[in-house]
Each structure stands twice: as C-alpha cells, then as structure tokens.
Amino acid sequence: MNPNHWPYPRWVAHRGAGKLAPENTLAAFRLGAAHGYRMFECDVKLSSDGVPFLMHDTTLQRTTNAGAKLGVGTITPSVNGTSAVGGDQSWSTLSQLDAGSWHSRAYAGEGLPTLEAVARYCIANGFFLNIEIKPTPGTERHTGEVVAQHAARLWQGVAVSPLLTSFDVKALEGAQAVQPDLPRGLLLDELWNGWLEKALKLECQAIVCNHSLWDKSTVLQAKSAGFKTLSYTVNDEWAAQRLIDLGTDAIITDRVDLFKPA
C-alpha cells in the first residue's frame, strides 16, 4: 500500500460493536454496521488445525460455553485442567461453541466466526477491517504468517486490504515476510525503548497506541516518521476530542452508540 494513501475511516468499532453485542462475532459486526460504522477491529488467532478464527483471549472461558464442556467430547483442557486454550482446539470443535450466551440471552447460539466469514461480510458490504493478530503463546511468527496469507487470499482483487496489527513483533515480522504489501500497524500499550525504530523496521503504516500515550510530542514523532496515528479504546467524549485536537488519524471505540462515525 502506498504509505501516503490512507483509505480507512476515522471511527473504528472495537471487536464489532464494543460491549453492545458479544465481541468478535458476526452479530457484533451487524450491530456496529447498524450504528453507521464502516470499519471494524477484530482479534484473530489460529485453531490447532490452522483455521484463522475470531477470539481475543488465549482461553475460551470468558466468551464461550467451553467451560461447561471441559472434559466432555473433544474440548481439550489446558495443563491445569481448568481452562481450554483456543489454539489447542480444532476448528470442528470450536465451531460448535456458543459465543453469545455469555453476553445475553438474545445472542444465545451465536457462533465463533472464521476470518473467512468476516471477510465475506465486510467485502460484500464495502466495509473496512483491522485484524489484530492474537497468537496463542508459542505460535507468534507462524500465526502472523498464516493470518497474512489468508488475508491476502480473501481480499485478492479488493480495492482496500485489511490493516494487520499486533502487539507481538514476531507476529508482525511473520506477516511482513510472507505478505509485505499488506498494511501493518504496531500496537503499543507503553512506549518501550525503540518503538519508533521497530515500527520503521517492520515497514508499518500505522502506530496504534493506548490513547493516553498520545500527546503533541509522540504524535509529532510518529507523523514525522510517516506513520498514521490510531488510538484504542476510546469511550469518553473528552478523550475523543483530545485526540481529534491532536490531529490523530483514527479512533477505536466500544461506544458505537455514543460516537456517530458520519
């Protein structure tokens, strides 16, 4: 992607629709779209058989009914026997989980979506996507490689590719190695030593920071190096206005009901 061309909108719906629907599900994407959002952030990891699917946590307990299925059927517990790790499960197992009931009864039976299902939805509707690569520990570079390969295949011929981001440098290195033309962004929850140099080495187009890290100095550093400046997770009007006044480029929010992207 031409570094001077930034096709993405300012407002990005976090995990589909923030907290208003079960995160990282197609139901959340549909609700975010109903609020007028045209770009979505989601988390992608790999099943044990290499299928990219949407899930934020390493374990399945918080956002699926896997806890009720531990020790039953094909759900594989972790070593301590209490938490099923998403990356240890096959897609055939993951596809049977309920990823909606934890949020509310209205979403009971909502499934975990694959990246392919989300791609089809976004492409059909002309929506933009920010894929945060969320590797299971120990699979960092491999996850970056596989997610990038799938993204390139799924968006082949589409005018705007998804933006690949990660906190994990190895995952971004993997994505860079196999699909260097896909746009990348370095996620930061702190400004660790050498962050700007690392983003340059990764040939990123964007820096995505915890919103509190942006000030006049850091925005100037990032923009002077040619990066777009994105922020997560912005849920208050004062914080959003501060970032707009600083001249940052995009805001990731849970509050799709508060901020009107148009």
Reduce the DSSP state of residue 239 to 3 states and report it: helix
Query: Is 5 assigned a catalytic role?
Result: no
Residue of 14, 103, 150, 211 marked active site = 14
Catalytic residue among 35, 56, 142, 150: 56
Q: What kind and span of H or E run contains 32?
A: helix 26-34
d(CA 162, CA 62): 27
72 to each of 61, 62, 76, how far by Cα in Å?
15, 18, 9
Sign of the CA dihedral running 123, 176, 55, 14: negative
Tell me how many degrees the CA angle 85-141-188 measures, rounded to the nearest 5.
85
14 is known as an active-site residue: yes
Known catalytic residues?
14, 56
